[in-house]
Amino acid sequence: MILRIGQLNYGRELRPYSLNAPLINKVLNPLLAKAVLWGGDFIALFLPRRCAGCDGGLMRFERCICLLCKEDLPRTRFHDDPTNRVEQLFLGKVKIEAASAFLHFNPTGKVQRVLHRLKYQHDMELGEFLGQEMAKDLMECPRFKDVDCFLAVPLHPRKEHMRGYNQSQVLVDGMRTVWPLPSVGKDLLRVVHTPSQTKRGRLERWLNVKEAFHLPDPESLRGKHVLIVDDVVTTGSTLEGCAMVLSTVPDIRISIYTVACA
């Protein structure tokens, strides 16, 4: 088994990642993080940071993704196009203002590796980095400029407890460091635990998520332009369920933004 330490971020909170076993992530990572904090550069010599895209060693000035991979990220450039295929997913199903994705998803490529590390390897630093890049890419686009707040797609509390974090919330927290809007993540609850969606058919997925969300205080979002943030959009059924619940709020406007679209 290989263990790796993630971003060595001196002078601030350490956000390590390692691979596979959740137990290792939860128990060993904090210990390793402390060891790195104490050992600093010395330990860093033996535990090189790795690029989330190509797994190559990172230079000292690089953060999470090497410069080559960063340049090579397959950006969608969808944001100003109302006919883009992310937006098309919701056409005639739920009223949305605008929808877009930061990157194209390729099941065997860099974006897949990056998302896997964000979702399963506790790499909070990568989540923050991606959130920042996502925000920089979107915040000046006319259709998204007047967004009032961010809402991370919630996980069911049981799932969040098992994983230890909500990857969409990590993205939102990263976005907010460059686009300082409120996060209203706590306003929408996931009330039904939906088992893994990946092997289900479209109809089954949709039925699954349709009743999955609950908004306890709709008034808090009245008149707001809410940007729903998620990691990856495939069929759009989870985001649709989310948007359907939000659309019951008077005068709300809903937009959608994901790291990647499959």
- Positions touching Zn ion (CB under 5 A) are 51, 53-54, 66, 69
Nearer to Zn ion, 51 or 256 (CB): 51
Helix (H) or strand (E) holding 45: helix 41-46
Q: How far is the CB of 126 from Zn ion (least distance, A)?
A: 12
Q: What token pair was written down for 98?
A: 């605008």
Nearer to Zn ion, 73 or 243 (CB): 73
**CA distances (Å), origin 121, targets 6, 23, 42, 51:** 10, 11, 24, 13
**SS3 at position 66:** coil
Q: How far is the CB of 68 from Zn ion (least distance, A)?
A: 6
Nearer to Zn ion, 70 or 200 (CB): 70
Q: How far is the CB of 200 from Zn ion (least distance, A)?
A: 33
- Residue 148, judged by CB atoms within 10 A of its CB (0-12, 13-18, 19+), counts as middle
Nearer to Zn ion, 69 or 147 (CB): 69
Q: How far is the CB of 25 from Zn ion (least distance, A)?
A: 22
Nearer to Zn ion, 63 or 205 (CB): 63
Q: How far is the CB of 48 from Zn ion (least distance, A)?
A: 13
